[in-house]
Amino acid sequence: MKILAINLHPLKSSAIRPVEAAQVQLRGLVDDRSWMVVDGDGTAVTAREVHALFRITSDTARTDPQVTSALRLRAPGLPPLEVDEPVDGDRVEVQLFSQRLGALPAAAEAHEWVGRAIGREDVRLVWCPDPSARRLDPAHARAGDHTAFADGYPVTVATTGSLRQLNEWMVSDALERGDEAPDPLPMQRFRPNLVLHCDEPFAEDRWAGLTIGGVRMRNAKPNERCVMTTIDLSSLDTGKEPIRTLARYRRSGSKTLFATNLIPDSTGEIRVGDEVLAH
């Protein structure tokens, strides 16, 4: 197997930022989901509820060498905004799913900019100053495992073989229903950090972990998919796929599964084209 693509998302739920190389830390890929939008109560705001977040492009110096601040935000109809790390501010408590976390709010102009970009006034931009405080589900992780503002685990990985199989299922099911064959879904619908070239569909179900160069990662659990995958990233319209098809072929209880979650056990650099060893 080889790495086909590496993706960062400096602001949670913002546009995918492909890179040629990334630094892996125990918390995940450096600069991935270090920032998040929250509402007036401190609850995470994601593209599940506010599709317009997909229209925001967030960059750091790792995704665009021209960026000189901690974060640059861009969105249609708005001037770019440079955001500094709020290292001297007072921490606030935010909620991401069932977890309460400490975060640092950005400057007021950043809150206003994000509000204009997504059409809401009750939002703030926050930064994760200490990913080590965000512990993972002990049912699938070890003591000390941690991440920043990812949904649940540090790194997500998907394979070309699994996507090919999913798209084939979608076509065969549509024809079985008497519907028109759908266009194939792009990998971007699933927003993985790593895309691996692997011909065997769902080989990831059997992995104990991966080694990429000197970087070792454990396979924690399959990735549970939600309505975010049904949003067309161009039109922002919502459809039934891929959840309808995953519910038929990749269901576990009430969950639908695609891709898998990894937890780093070591650090280092990974690059597009690197060989990947599964074990």
Q: What is the 3-state secondary structure (H, E, C) of the chain?
A: CEEEEEEECCECCCCCEEECEEEEECCEECCCCCEEEECCCCEEECCCCCHHHHHCEEECCCCCCCCCCCEEEEECCEEEEEECCCCCCCCEEEEECCEEEEEEECCHHHHHHHHHHHCCCCCEEEECCCHHHCECCCCCCCCCCECCCCCCCCEEEEEHHHHHHHHHHHHHHHHHHCCCCCCCCCHHHHCCCEEEECCCCCHHHHCCEEEECCEEEEEEEEEEECHHHHECCCCCCECCCCHHHHHHHCEECCEEEEEEEEEECCCEEEECCCECEEC
Q: What is the pTM of this model?
A: 0.97
Nearest CA to 164 out of 239, 254, 242 is that of 242
Looking at residue 89, its pLDDT comes to 82
Per-residue pLDDT of the chain (279 residues; tens, 9 = 90+): 999 999 999 999 999 999 999 999 999 999 999 999 999 999 999 999 999 999 999 999 999 999 999 999 999 999 999 999 998 888 999 999 999 999 999 999 999 999 999 999 999 999 999 999 999 999 999 999 999 999 999 999 999 999 999 999 999 999 999 999 999 999 999 999 999 999 999 999 999 999 999 999 999 999 999 999 999 999 999 999 999 999 999 999 999 999 999 999 999 999 999 999 999
Task: Name the CA dihedral angle for 249, 202, 10, 185, rounded to a multiple of 10 degrees.
Answer: -50
Token output for 277:
């060893």
Looking at residue 88, its pLDDT comes to 80
> Please, are residues 241 and 185 in contact by the beta-carbon 8 Å criterion?
yes
Looking at residue 148, its pLDDT comes to 98
Task: Name the CA dihedral angle for 77, 60, 158, 76, rounded to a multiple of 10 degrees.
Answer: 0
Token output for 82:
């440079």
Looking at residue 87, its pLDDT comes to 82
For residue 154, cis peptide bond before it (omega within 30 degrees of 0): no
Which amino acid is residue 68, in one-letter code?
T
Distance from C-alpha of 135 to C-alpha of 142, rounded to nearest angstrom: 9
Looking at residue 45, its pLDDT comes to 99
CB-based contacts of 233: which residues, under 8 Å, 6+ apart? 54, 186, 188, 189
CB-based contacts of 129: which residues, under 8 Å, 6+ apart? 87, 91, 102, 103, 104
> Please, are residues 111 and 105 in contact by the beta-carbon 8 Å criterion?
yes
